[in-house]
């Protein structure tokens, strides 16, 4: 049965449930979280929960998809057509670091998805890797990136971004801004790590 809300009020209630679920799952983890606690946080009647979701698992799956989409939206908003391919990678990473700093719960929720809902976990990363691969192809087409870039490069770049986010957005510690970190990573993409003149 389709439980997509058809009214503005319904969409607002769904948003409240997703936001409350992000807080609850982020603080307590999937197994310790409860539907009653989520609805209390959301200010929604317990009975109303089942208007939108069949179970805690269904809510978790929807939350992973919602957070995955939010990551993509934050990157899209940071990118403009006037940017060069390298500038796009810098802006996308800075946006991801900003998003992760503001929504630290995303790391715990996505990590738990590997065990709670493996298909959502895999889809999250596969979708983002495909977007990066498309950006790399566009950079090659524009003449700024070398030829031969593909899936492995996209996954490597995504993996680097995820762990840079863990260190600087989630753990913090230090005075580097997202823009500083993204600029350093971008310099590495542009110039590599080998000394010039060496093969």
Same domain, residue pair 4 and 71? no
Report H helices in 53-170.
Answer: 56-78, 85-102, 105-116, 118-141, 151-165
Is the pLDDT reported for residue 2 higher than 60? Answer: no
Is the pLDDT reported for residue 142 higher than 80? Answer: yes
**Count of structural domains within the chain:** 2
Whole-number average pLDDT of the chain? 94
CB neighbour list of residue 42: distance below 8 Å, 6 or more residues apart: 13, 16, 17, 19, 20
- Output the CA–CA distances (angstroms, integers) from residue 93 to 12, 16, 132, 148, in the order listed: 30, 28, 11, 22
Same domain, residue pair 116 and 40? no
Same domain, residue pair 77 and 25? no
Same domain, residue pair 121 and 30? no
pLDDT, average across residues 111-137: 96
Same domain, residue pair 75 and 145? yes
Q: Does residue 196 lie within any of the structural domains?
A: no
Query: Domain end: 34, 54, 74, which one?
Result: 54
Same domain, residue pair 128 and 106? yes
Q: What pTM value is reported for the model?
A: 0.90
Query: Domain end: 11, 28, 54, which one?
Result: 54
Range of the domain at 147: 58-191
pLDDT, average across residues 106-125: 96
Q: pLDDT tens-digit profile of 172-184? A: 877 899 999 999 9
Q: Does residue 199 lie within any of the structural domains?
A: no
> Could you tell me which of 3, 63, 76, 66 has the C-alpha nearest to residue 33?
63
pLDDT at 196: 75
* Number of neighbouring beta carbons within 10 Å of residue 148: 8
């Amino acid at each position: 049965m389709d439980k997509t809300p058809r009214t503005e009020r319904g969409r607002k209630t769904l948003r409240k449930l997703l936001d409350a679920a992000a807080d609850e799952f982020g603080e307590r983890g999937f197994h310790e979280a409860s539907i009653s606690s989520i609805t209390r946080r959301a200010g929604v009647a317990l009975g109303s929960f089942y208007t939108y979701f069949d179970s805690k698992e269904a809510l978790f799956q929807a939350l992973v998809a919602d957070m995955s989409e939010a990551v993509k939206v934050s990157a899209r908003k940071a990118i403009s057509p006037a940017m060069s391919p390298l500038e796009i990678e810098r802006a996308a990473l800075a946006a991801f670091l900003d998003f992760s700093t503001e929504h630290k719960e995303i790391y715990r929720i996505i990590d738990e998805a590997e065990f709670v809902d493996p298909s959502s976990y895999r889809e999250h990363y596969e979708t983002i890797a495909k977007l990066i691969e498309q950006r790399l192809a566009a950079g090659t087409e524009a003449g700024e990136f070398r030829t031969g870039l593909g899936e492995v490069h996209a996954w490597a770049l995504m993996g680097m971004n995820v762990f840079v986010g863990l260190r600087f957005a989630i753990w913090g510690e230090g005075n580097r801004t997202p823009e500083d970190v993204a600029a350093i990573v971008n310099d590495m993409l542009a110039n590599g790590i080998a000394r010039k003149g060496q093969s």
